[in-house]
A and B are shown apart, each in its own frame.
Chain A
């Protein structure tokens, strides 16, 4: 994956991960990607198990087209350190995740894998419904619908932006000065 040549706008179809009209909080990595599939190392194979242990969302891999943008609640991705819980979404063609807050390890894993991840405290209040086409300006954090700003996420940090532009942590490191590498 190389995001270097892309415009700094991410466009996609919103998926609000909610239950009874409310974004679900505390979705842990076992709900995103259950531990019974942890032995899988082929990333492509991980796509079909995304949300396979989240009540009401178990058929998500069948529903999700490519270019999806997930909208999630508080503390998304808390729990284990498994990279699978990020990689399954990348394989499924998810372009970005906007959440009220994230588990710390999950956030790092997403950044390192080049999956755009944005914190937005008010995302639950924004005028966005599942299926809406939305756009994220990754430099400003503005979230747009029909060209109009509906929410504002925290902009990417410098390291996050650099890794995202390079594609992932490994590509980023290769672009850094030689002196950095042993």
Chain B
């Protein structure tokens, strides 16, 4: 069996067969400030009592608009707070950071579990070998109430990365390159990632790659946990962790090889995360603003990557550098390690933890014709304002901030 089939088998009474609809038990059930108020509304409108199957497995996490900068979001957050207090649900408020990241850091989501949230990047937890899925507010309300959901067992595609890149590369370059290669091949499917390049990824790098499976069109991408990742999960969860690995004779719909030996810094052109090109092809593109953060690149390693480039230097005259750590813990580490100071002195604006630019412009939007280099995962038109957003790694973003044009490697 593949990883998803084995996790589903542990969470369902139904027979696991590709294409079949099963009822799946969900271990970690979450809603955030976006979607959360609708989840509450759905529960109140459709049920009279017993809204929550298990309050210990249910969480609210605020990360989209933290702290709320519109009345609408402020009201919605308050709706969730009141509901959470009344029903004994744990709430991570606007100080905590991105919900999926926080729950991994807290050891609440770990290998082998099933988790859902009103966040289309909830499949990011494939980074630690868990099944995660972003869902709408109807789905999530139903799961809060019943603890389960219907799910069509997807086929799995096995992706083998061949070779180790010679050039400078980061997990984001790998993620963008993979989006380019897999787009159109994995819609509605699960993925398992293998290869030397995968084994070499740190936890933060795994989070980057897993977060962009949504942009590939996949249901989830599993990265089999390494020893380092297992150790980390055991420390944060204070539990013995037994990851799920695929059987040797697992049935894959397809195997795909992606040659990464010539991987280099990549960028997605405005409008579509799959429109990916090498950075070197764009070097005369002038930059107005740079954003480093998001669930894709808001980890400590990402911040350190940027700080190593910007340390002792200043961002280019007229370029705005905006930084949003993914969680309060990442922020704390930035403070205590001196990285926050290095970035500050280079001219960065550093915000509190959260999603950053992706949702409702927590750290500002782009204006018409503004060229932004962003480490986020999506650059569809209008997503982060009216400007043109290029997706890149924290290293490319930092180089762009320094040079005033994209890249500069």
Residue numbers of A with Cβ under 8 A of B are 26, 28, 30-31, 34-36, 38-41, 53, 55, 74-75, 78-83, 86, 101, 103-105, 107-109, 112-113, 157-159, 168-170, 173, 180-182
Contacts and interface: CB of A to CB of B under 8 A. Distances in A.
Contacts of B37: 41
B378 A28 contact: yes
B139 A109 contact: yes
A78 B217 contact: yes
Given A105-B133, A170-B141, 7 more contacts: A34-B382, A38-B64, A75-B187, A112-B142, A169-B142, A173-B142, A182-B145
A31 B187 contact: no
Interface string B120-159: 1010000000000111111101100111001010000000
Contacts of A41: 37-38, 41, 76
Contacts of B360: 35-36, 38
A68 B68 CA distance: 36
Contacts of A80: 120, 134
Interface in B23-42: 34-35, 37-38, 41-42
A31 B198 CA distance: 34
Nearest to B43: A170
Interface in B353-395: 359-360, 378, 380-383
Contacts of A157: 21, 152
Interface string B339-357: 0000000000000000000
Contact of B120 (A38, A79, A180): A79
Contact of A108 (B53, B72, B136, B214): B136
A105 B134 contact: yes
A101 B138 contact: no
Contacts, number: 114
Contacts of A75: 187, 217
B120 A170 contact: no
A168 B380 CA distance: 30
Nearest to B137: A83
Given A83-B136, A109-B136, A112-B142, A101 B187 contact: yes
Contacts of A173: 142, 146
Contacts of A53: 381-382
A112 B136 CA distance: 9
- Chain B: number of interface residues, binned into ranges: 35 or more
Contacts of B72: 38-40
A39 B79 CA distance: 12
B135 A39 contact: no
B119 interface: yes
B378 A79 contact: yes
A55 B382 CA distance: 11
Contacts of B337: none
A170 B383 contact: no
B132 to A, nearest CB: 12
B56 to A, nearest CB: 14
A105 B123 CA distance: 11
A82 B136 contact: yes
Q: Which of B70, B72, B378, B380 has the most CB of A within 10 A?
A: B380
B62 to A, nearest CB: 13
B147 A182 contact: yes
Interface centre among A53, A78, A181 (most CB of B within 10 A): A78
Contacts of B122: 81
Given A30-B382, A81-B134, A170 B142 contact: yes
Given A75-B187, A103-B217, A168 B381 contact: no
A182 B75 CA distance: 30
A181 B34 CA distance: 27
A182 B146 contact: yes
B118 A81 contact: yes
Interface in B140-196: 141-142, 145-147, 150, 152, 184, 187-188
A53 to B, nearest CB: 5
B188 A104 contact: yes
B120 A81 contact: yes
Contacts of A74: 184
A79 B139 contact: no
B381 A105 contact: no
